[in-house]
Structure 1
Amino acid sequence: MARDIDRKLRVTAAVLGAVTAKDLAAAFRRANPVTSFDVDRAHKWIQGRARPRESRLYEDWAKVVDLDRPGAWIADCELDDFIEVICARHNCDRDMLERRLESSRRPTAGQRQERNPSLAGTYACYSHAWSPYFRGQIVRGEFSIAQQQGSQGLLACYSERLPTSRLHLEGPLEVTGRAMHLDLRETDGNAHMLFCLFSPTPPASVLAGFMCGATIIDPDAQPSVTRMVMVRLPGPSMRLRSATAYLPPQTSVAADLASLGLPIPNLAAVDHGVGGFLAGNQSGGLDQVDSHSYRALIDLFNPIWLAGATAMRGRVGEA
C-alpha cells in the first residue's frame, strides 16, 4: 500500500526546487511527456486527500528524482528511508531540506489566518512505552486532527514509527461535555487503541489523559494503559513523522519539542510539567488524573502557543 505520498511529494518538490504543483507536474512531464501526473490531482495528493493508483506514475516518479529504485519502492518505503536516499542521491543536507519543507508550509501574506484555532492540527504525543523491551522509556507519537471529507465530524489519526514498522491508527473524534473520546483502529492491521482525554478549551495548546490498548512489540499482547500528553505544534513536522518513536533514556521532552518547531522559552519548566503529569501517583490499581494536573499543563503551554501565534501573525504582516 502506498504510504506518506503527500510528504514524499513535498520532499520531491523541495529537492527539485518546485514551488507549485504546476512546477512539479512540469518535472514529471520532462521525465515522461505522457505521464498521468496532472495539476488537479496533484493538489489532492499533496494535501493527503488521495493517492496515485497507477503503477506507471511511480515509475515516472523514480525518473523525476533520478533514483536507481523501482517505482514500487517509492510507493511502499518508509518516509525516513525515502528522505535518506533522496539526500544521498542529490547530496542534500537533511536538516536544510527539512527547514526548506517547513518554510514552504508557512502562510504568506494574503492567506487566511485562523482567528480562533480549532482542534485541527498536529500534536506531538508523549507517553510511557508498553513494550517490555523498552521499559522505562518515553514514546513519541504523532497525533493529527482534520475535518472529515463530506462530513461535519473530525477525523483523528495517531501514528508511531516503531522499529518493526509504522503504526497508524485512525477514527472519529467525539467531544462531550466531560471528555474527549477516541476509538482508533489500524486501517490495514489489527491494532486498536482507546483514548480518554480532558475536554479541551481554546486554543487547545495541549491535550492530555489516558491511552489504552495492547502491547505490540511483545511476545504476548498485554492489556496496557498509559498517561499521555499531546502538545500542539505550529504545523506538520517532517521530523516528527520520520523519527523513531522510542526516545533514548533521559531525553528532554522540551528539547524534543523545540526540535519539532515549537519555541520553548523555559526547557526545565516544560520537562518538569510534562514529566510530573506522566509520572502520576502511586495509588494501587487506580490511576485518575485530577483536573489540577491538566490545568497546570494548560497554564504551561497556552502562553507558548499564543506567543508563537502572535509571532506568526507578525511575520505575515511584514511579508
Structure 2
Amino acid sequence: MAKTIGHAIDVKLSLTAAALGAITRKDLALAFRRANPATSFDLERAHKWLQGRSKPREMALYEDWSSLLGLGRPGAWIAECSVEDFLDAVCPKADAERTAMLRRAEAFRGTGHRERPDGVQELVGEYACYSHAWSPYFAGRLIRGCLSITLPASSAQPRAAYAEALPHGQLQTEGPLTLTPHGLQLDLRDPHAGAQLLHVLFGPSPPVSVLGGLMCGTTILGPERVPSVTRILMVRLPAGGRGLATHDAYLPADASVARDLSGLGLILDDPDEADRRIARFLTGSLRPGIDQIMAADFRAVVELLDQAWITRNGQAAGS
C-alpha cells in the first residue's frame, strides 16, 4: 500500500490561512483557486484535513500550496517539513511574528466549531474603550472602559462584557455579540442596576487591532437618566499586557489616548499622529441632528493601529 504523504497538515493549513489573512475556510479555498483555478483543493475535503482526519494525497495540491505562499520550494517539502521549519519559511513572507501567527492559526482552526459565526475567533481578547462621558459632572472628558470578548466552551454564542470603574462603583454589563455582513453589534445589560448599552460597530478586519462605532444608552451618573449616544473606540490590548486600571475611568481633561494606551502596554510608533486620528474619529464633523461616522476616519485609525499590533504586539506581549 502506498504511503500517505503529509505531516501536521492541519497545523500548516491553519498557519497558511493566518499568513494570508483568511478568516474562513471559504477564504482559504478561494486563495488556492487564485493560485491555480484547476486546484484540487475543495471545502469538503479541507474540513477533514483541518480536523486531522485525512491528508491531501495529490502532490499537485502541495505544488499549488507552495506557489500560493511563494516559498520557492517543492511541494514535497511542504508535505513533510516540520511545523517549526514551516513557520521559519512562512513568517518572513507574512511579515509577522511567530506568536502572532500561532495565535491567528489557532483562531482559524476554531472556525466552524459548534457552528460559531465565521470570524468570531479573531475578536477574542481585551480592549481599552474610549468614548465621550455622558455625565454632566464630567462634561467634555473622555471615559475609559474595558471590553472583554470570550468564547464560552459550553456555547456557540460569543459573549461580551463591558465595564467602567465609576466614582460611585463599578458598571458591569454583559450580553451577546452578533457579527453580521453589515457590522458588529453588542447588546449588553446590567441585570442588577438595569443599565443597558447597545454598541453598533464597524465590521472587524484582521488582525482586529481595533473596533469602533457608536454606543447608545442612558446616563449613569447624573441627576436624571437622559438618552445618550457617543462614538466609541475599542483598542485591543496585547496579551500579557498590564491590564486596565480599576479606578479613575474618567480621563483628565485634554488626556492623550496614545499615552494612556502606552501605560496599558500598547506602544505606538507615532503617538502624536495616533492622537490626531483618534480625536478625529471620536469627534468628527457632521450635519446637525445626525452622527454618521465617516468610514475614512475609522480606516485611518485602523491602519495605524494594525501596524502597531503587527509590529509591536509580539514584543509587548512578552515584556
Same fold (TM over 0.5): yes
Which position in structure 1 is the counterpart of 2:24? none
1:114 paired residue among 85, 99, 103: 103
Matched, 1:130 2:134: yes
> In structure 1, how many angstroms separate the alpha carbons of the residues matched to 2:314 and 2:173?
33
Which position in structure 1 is the counterpart of 2:296? 292
Which position in structure 2 is the counterpart of 1:248? 252
Matched, 1:146 2:113: no
Identity of aligned pairs, percent?
42
1:263 paired residue among 239, 243, 267: 267
SS in structure 2 at match of 1:242:
coil
- Structure 2 unmatched ranges of 5 or more: 1-97, 108-121
Backbone CA RMSD of aligned residues: 2.3
- Deviating runs (4+, > 4 A) in structure 1? 236-239
> In structure 1, how many angstroms separate the alpha carbons of the residues matched to 2:204 and 2:172?
23
Amino acid of the structure 2 residue aligned with 1:144: S
> In structure 1, how many angstroms separate the alpha carbons of the residues matched to 2:302 and 2:290?
24
For residues 238 and 264 of structure 1, do their structure 2 counterparts lie closer, same or farther at Cα, with a shift above 3 Å needed?
closer
TM-score, structure 2 length as denominator?
0.61
Which position in structure 2 is the counterpart of 1:273? 277
Which position in structure 2 is the counterpart of 1:176? 180
Amino acid of the structure 1 residue aligned with 2:104: R
Q: Shift of residue 292 of structure 1?
A: 1.2
> In structure 1, how many angstroms separate the alpha carbons of the residues matched to 2:187 and 2:216?
10
> In structure 2, how many angstroms separate the alpha carbons of the residues matched to 1:186 and 1:237?
27
Matched, 1:304 2:308: yes
Amino acid of the structure 2 residue aligned with 1:115: R
Larger radius of gyration: 2
8 Å CA contact retained: 2:135, 2:221: yes
8 Å CA contact retained: 1:160, 1:244: no
Q: Shift of residue 293 of structure 1?
A: 1.4
8 Å CA contact retained: 1:122, 1:236: no
Q: Deviations over 1:187-219 (max 9, x none)?
A: 422110100000101100010000000001111
Amino acid of the structure 2 residue aligned with 1:133: Y
What are the equivalent positions in structure 2 for 1:79-94 lying under 5 Å apart?
A: none
Q: Shift of residue 239 of structure 1?
A: 4.8
For residues 236 and 124 of structure 1, do their structure 2 counterparts lie closer, same or farther at Cα, with a shift above 3 Å needed?
farther
Q: Deviations over 1:110-151 (max 9, x none)?
A: 9x9413561000000000000000000000000110002411
For residues 236 and 208 of structure 1, do their structure 2 counterparts lie closer, same or farther at Cα, with a shift above 3 Å needed?
farther
For residues 165 and 115 of structure 1, do their structure 2 counterparts lie closer, same or farther at Cα, with a shift above 3 Å needed?
same
Q: Shift of residue 235 of structure 1?
A: 2.6
8 Å CA contact retained: 1:146, 1:155: yes
1:230 paired residue among 231, 234, 252: 234
For residues 177 and 261 of structure 1, do their structure 2 counterparts lie closer, same or farther at Cα, with a shift above 3 Å needed?
same
SS in structure 1 at match of 2:167:
coil
8 Å CA contact retained: 1:127, 1:229: yes
For residues 236 and 194 of structure 1, do their structure 2 counterparts lie closer, same or farther at Cα, with a shift above 3 Å needed?
farther
Matched, 1:215 2:219: yes
TM-score, structure 1 length as denominator?
0.61
Amino acid of the structure 2 residue aligned with 1:160: E
What are the equivalent positions in structure 2 for 1:19-38 lying under 5 Å apart?
A: none
8 Å CA contact retained: 2:265, 2:316: no
> In structure 1, how many angstroms separate the alpha carbons of the residues matched to 2:314 and 2:252?
33
Amino acid of the structure 1 residue aligned with 2:225: A
SS in structure 1 at match of 2:220:
coil
8 Å CA contact retained: 2:216, 2:230: yes
